[in-house]
Structure 1
Amino acid sequence: MSSSELTPEALRSRTRETGVPTLPADTTGTVVWHRDDLRLDDQAAVAAGAEADRLLPLFVFDPSFYGSDGLACDARLRFLHECLDDLDRRYRERTNAGLSYAVGEPIDLLERFRSAGWNLVATASPSGRYGHERDQRAYRELDATFVPGDGLVRDAERPRREWQDRTEAWFAADQYDWDPDSVRVVEFPTGLDSSDVERAYDVDPTKSRVPQGGGQQARARLRSFVDQIHEYPGAISSPVDAREGTSGLSPYLKFGCLSVRQVYQYVDAHAPDARGTEMFVSRLFWNRHYEQKLADWPGWTDRAVNPVLRGFNADRRDPELIAAWKRGRTGYPMVDASMRCLRETGWLNFRMRALCASCYFHVLQQPWRIGADWFYRHLIDAEASINYTQWQSQCGLVGRPTLRLYNPRKQVRDQDPEGEFIREWIPELAALPTEYLDRPEHTPLAVQAECGVRIGEEYPRPVVDYEAARQEFRERLEDVRARAADALARPAVADRASLSGGRSAARSIARNHGTETEQNESDDGTQARLDAFGESEFRPE
């Protein structure tokens, strides 16, 4: 197909015109529908599919993710395509065929395979709004099987009961395995590959410093990180140190180039007995913890966990403030440097993500989902289960009595005392003396003239006053705090909030901070005591 013919509709037409492979009589066949979990080892769906006589590994390029209004930025799409190319190579190395590609609406395409007698299998995984609805349709309309291979608890009334013990057992259990010689792998011969899709949809990443996708790169990063894991504790908070000092595995875990269990078992076998090892392993448990949250309640991506706090800040929506935050023009240098770094690289360490979310919701006082969606579009490692749950937790939409409100000036002094990060991403402040980087608007005019930096012109003054905005937000929250605490006494709200102490912790908040006492039932289960792992960090970075 020539470049001039490579249009989205041409790729969809090629898919429609390609015939579904016919299954011989008395022969079973399974389509392994890859979405994430782009690997062959410790892959539950591949292991299940290999029990059939024929196995057809398939990836469907969904148009919903492409284009200016798509669900992912071009850099994340390129990373995905590199992961797919690597998976295709792995299939060809171990079997007689590779990964098949198709373009179109997934359910419509998969229905053709189902009508031809193929079974459909995929890994069960929590997902965002779109993915959840898609998978529900595949289950209802196509009888697709979603294999639970991620250690999460499903279809249980109290999934958090003995959760930590179950998770520890899953981490230590044998990995899923399959025999490539026991099954014949066949292809859906569309003749398409990821490069065709990139040209048709004009995928042209502009972000810099984005790592290359794929299992080979993931394994190399894991080995390199374990060799320096003793440096991990000191490299988490500062964005300068975190770029090289953390594992860099999160985008590979997002696309399943490695399973969390594979990482855990490699660290357990090869890392030294050190504080860095303990801290990193704790973040692997937190990864499962937040995945479990979304598995328990898909509403994390749409609605505030606490019903009393739904719509908080909605009436204050200000497009100019939102645009200033997105562009990195709020007048708070640590926030602005972080937002520019996010937009230009698709990366941001946890503390800076929390700082930017806090500034957006607590200081600018804007509706949370707009900010969360912006992060989700730009992050290379965007995982719905972590992005949206952390946004809600950071904003305070769960209803806990404590509020983590970051001071953007203090973060300059604590995390970028020499101004290295700020000067890299805000070149208009490069000549400003370090002592003024936390509050550029307080730079004396004589100093501004001497260094050639004019605050209010090249770089803006703060778009809102921090102290006044913080006080206003606290007062607004105080007006509903007691009712939000009351809501946590309701079992349904407590379960979706998934506090580390379970329903009893939620009732304790209601009892101590609410307007009335509600004790509807005893706490007959145990909640994983994840507070031992430290709630200030949430993912392997």
Structure 2
Amino acid sequence: MVDSPTIAVWHRDDLRLRDNAALDAAAADGHPAPVFVVDPTFYRSGMAADARLRFLHESLTALDDRYASLGSGLVFRHGDPAAVLDALPVDRIYVNRSVTARYGRERDAALFGRDDVTTFAVDGLDRTDRGRDEYDWQAGAESYFESEPIPAPDALPPNPLADGPTVDDVERRYGVSPTKRAVPTGGRDAAWERLRAFADRLDRYPGGIADPAAAEERTSHLSPYFQFGCLSVRSAKRYVDREGTDPRGIRLFAKRCYWNRHYSQKLVDWPGWTERAVNPVFRGLFRDSHDPDLVAAWKAGETGFPLVDASMRALRETGWLNFRMRAMCASFFTYVLQCWWKPGADHFYRHLIDGDAAINYTQWQSQSNLTGVHPVRIYDPRKQVREHDPDGEFVRRYVPELRDLPTEHLDRPERTPLAVQASSGVRIGEDYPHPVVEFEARREAARRRFARLADRAREALSDPEIRRRASLSRRHGRKTADDSETDAPGQRRLDDF
């Protein structure tokens, strides 16, 4: 009788047992040995706030508990993944493919060619060398969402690997000490609890997407669980399809699940999204006017534009922001402050608990029109106050120095009469800053600059490869009774998702 091979199941952003192709195959082919590699590069990069690291650690603890309930356990190792995997006393390594760029993509490219490594890609994405014109992405995504999630094992043998460092050891080693508040708890059980609660109140979802205060209460907040793989997008969509009772909410959530996969496909196709403008005409745009003082004011939420400031403080304090406010802050950073897009996108990625490179960087480029296929869409932050925070609930929550200012002055505090300032206990220019730039002048200057580059940008798009990278899917892109109108045929706005 031949002994079963010992198979390391290398977890990365798939911190679950259900809908896990690598674990399912390992259980069928041999003796699974679940392992997570604590990679120093991830911790030392500075690209993940401590709250995101804590969410990861909670998710790992929950995964270990889940394995223990089935008779196994999750073993931790610390170090360079290649060296760690080399040292494991196993016969094979099974791993689910991630969607990543930069260091992660280079790491995977070096490891996935090894004879002892088998990869799995049950995520609705195409990783062949075929162009999108030769691959029906929509059909692939539909097939993924319509198929049943892979069930979790009923039982597992003990993990044969020796114990390594603990989560507490890792937190002490890297000084993880989060300061953000209202951060969700990581892990499979927390993910399913949130999913069930969201489905139960799905009727509140369609009207609670754009307004930032409402969005904090009425959107799903499932994105961190998707990002770390505590819950697969497929499992979430199928649960809402089955248990949701509001047809409009079901359709809106389904669209967002498809777009989650679509943005991941964009990063699979071209990892350069995180580093440089898709359209080469816009590479280095606004570097000549990049002002570190304006960047600092934007990051601190001290620009003198209340909804921008409230949004940036919410990002820093909670690690979350609804998509319309993400869009407005990105637009403001690039068009109005006229700063180079990448430091702004990196700042968002660093602070977001749901920091997803595919969504964050693709949408920053889209909102900054670095694709050349979108219109120049410049959010007016004062109009956004009037339309999406008309009672000032969100502004007052995150900009307390304006808490007692009458609502009619919250869109432009600098125009508040001195007598009203005195009675409200706020002095504009002292307690709260004057606008750091003149909005209308900056907006027109940005439009003129993009107009000068428009012909060259269109010419660059005549290259089929650049056009394919820059264009978003034309499916799910028409105006419906349930959704917002697109900015251009086949193109979506960040705040639609």
Q: TM-score, normalised by structure 2?
A: 0.94
Q: Which amino acid aligns with 1:173?
A: S
For residue 15 of structure 2, the aligned residue among 24, 29, 38 is: 38
Is 1:167 equivalent to 2:141 in the alignment?
Answer: yes
* Cα distance in structure 1, aligned partners of 2:174 and 2:95: 26
Look up the match of 2:53.
77
Equivalent pair of 2:194/2:220 in contact (CA under 8 Å)? yes
1:108 and 2:78 correspond: no
Q: 2:255, 2:476 within 8 Å by CA — same for their partners in 1?
A: no
Partner of 2:27: 50
Number of matched residues? 486
Between the aligned partners of 2:248 and 2:93, the Cα distance in structure 1 is: 44
Q: For residues 475-500 of structure 1, give each alpha carbon's deviation from its aligned partner in whole angstroms, at most 9, with x where no partner exists.
A: 11111111111111211101212333
Percent of pairs with identical residues? 51
Deviation, 1:26, is 5.1
CA displacement 1:224-273 (0-9 Å, x = unmatched): 11111111111001111001101111111111111011011111111125
CA distance in 1, matches of 2:262, 2:230: 20
Cα deviations by residue, 1:38-60 (Å, 9 ceiling, x for unpaired):
00011111112223322111111
**Secondary structure of the residue that 1:348 maps to in structure 2?**
coil
Q: Find the residue that maps to 1:339 and give its secondary structure.
A: helix
Residue 343 of structure 1 aligns to which amino acid in structure 2?
R
Which position in structure 2 is the counterpart of 1:176?
150
Q: How many angstroms does 1:140 deviate by?
A: 3.9
Map 1:247-266 to 2 at 5 A.
247-266=220-239
Matches within 5 A, 1:225-264: 225-264=198-237
CA distance in 1, matches of 2:72, 2:3: 22
Aligned to 1:99: 74
Matched with 1:131 is 104
- The 5 A counterparts of 1:493-508 are 493-501=466-474
The SS at the match of 1:485 is helix
Deviation at 1:530, TM superposition (A): 4.1
CA displacement 1:293-335 (0-9 Å, x = unmatched): 1111111111111111111111222110110000001110000
* In 1: Cα distance, 2:83 partner to 2:290 partner: 38
Shift of 1:529: 5.0
Q: 2: CA distance between counterparts of 1:296 and 1:145? A: 21
> Are the aligned partners of 1:209 and 1:345 in contact in 2 as well (CA < 8 Å)?
yes
Distance 1:192 1:538 in 2: 41
Instruction: Name the structure 2 match of 1:446.
Output: 419
Counterpart amino acid of residue 427 in structure 1: P
Alignment of 1:6-405 (within 5 A): 27-66=4-43, 69-94=45-70, 96-113=71-88, 116=89, 118-140=91-113, 144-159=117-132, 161-177=135-151, 179-181=153-155, 184-405=157-378
Equivalent residue letter for 1:176:
I
CA contact (8 A) 1:401 1:485 kept: no
The CA distance in 1 between the partners of 2:303 and 2:77, in whole Å, is: 43
Shift of 1:145: 2.6
When residues 240 and 178 of structure 1 are mapped into structure 2, their CA distance, relative to the original with a 3 A threshold, is closer
Matched residue SS, 1:31: strand
**Alpha-carbon spacing, 1:529–1:416, altered in 2? closer, same or farther (3 Å):** closer
Q: C-alpha displacement at 1:174, in angstroms? A: 2.2
In structure 1, what is the Cα distance between the partners aligned to 2:129 and 2:242? 32
Structure 1 residue 420, shift from structure 2 partner: 1.2
Aligned-partner residue type, residue 149 of structure 2: Q
Note if contact 1:253-1:259 (Cα within 8 Å) is conserved in structure 2. yes
1:218·1:258 contact (CA, 8 Å) conserved in 2?
yes
Contact 2:132 2:468 in 1 (8 A): no
> What's the secondary structure of 2:272's corresponding residue?
helix
Query: Aligned letter for 2:319?
Result: G
Deviations 1:496-527 (A, max 9, x none): 123334xxxxxxxxxxxxxxxxxxxxxxxxxx
Give the drift of 1:537.
4.7
Alpha-carbon distance in structure 2 between the residues aligned to 1:64 and 1:212: 24
Unpaired stretches in structure 2, ≥5 consecutive residues: 485-491
Aligned-residue offset at 1:122: 1.4
Residue 418 of structure 1 aligns with which residue? 391
Residue 519 of structure 1: aligned partner: none
CA RMSD of aligned residues (A): 1.9
Following TM superposition, by how much is the alpha carbon of 1:146 offset from its aligned partner in structure 2, in angstroms? 2.4
Structure 2 distance, partners of 1:29, 1:210, is 38
Given that 1:207 and 1:344 are in contact with CA atoms closer than 8 Å, whether structure 2 keeps it comes out as: yes
Match of 2:28, SS state, is coil
* SS in structure 1 of the partner of residue 93 of structure 2: strand
Q: Measure, in 2, the Cα distance between the counterparts of 1:431 and 1:305.
A: 45
Distance 1:488 1:253 in 2: 33
| TM-score, normalisation: structure 1 | 0.86
3-state SS of 1:66 partner = helix
**2:324–2:495 Cα contact (<8 Å) kept:** no
* Letter of the 1:52 counterpart: D
- 1:453 CA displacement: 1.0
What is the alpha-carbon distance in structure 2 between the residues aligned to residue 179 and residue 444 of structure 1? 67
Q: Assess if the C-alpha contact under 8 Å between 2:284 and 2:340 holds in 1.
A: yes
Equivalent residue letter for 1:110:
L
Aligned to 1:536: 493
Residue number in structure 2 paired with 1:486: 459
Q: Deviations over 1:335-370 (max 9, x none)?
A: 000000100110100000001101100100111110
3-state SS of the aligned residue for 2:132? coil
How far apart, in 2, do the equivalents of 1:272 and 1:364 lie? 44
Distance 2:305 2:116 in 1: 52
Q: 1:26 to 1:93 in 2, by over 3 A?
A: closer
Distance of 1:212 and 1:457 partners within structure 2: 38
Work out the CA distance in 2 between the residues paired with 1:418 and 1:289: 35
Measure how far apart 1:195 and its partner are.
1.3
- Which deviations, in whole Å up to 9, do the C-alpha atoms of 1:138-189 show, x marking residues without a partner? 12457533211111111041236322122111101122246455x6442432
Q: Which amino acid aligns with 2:208?
A: A
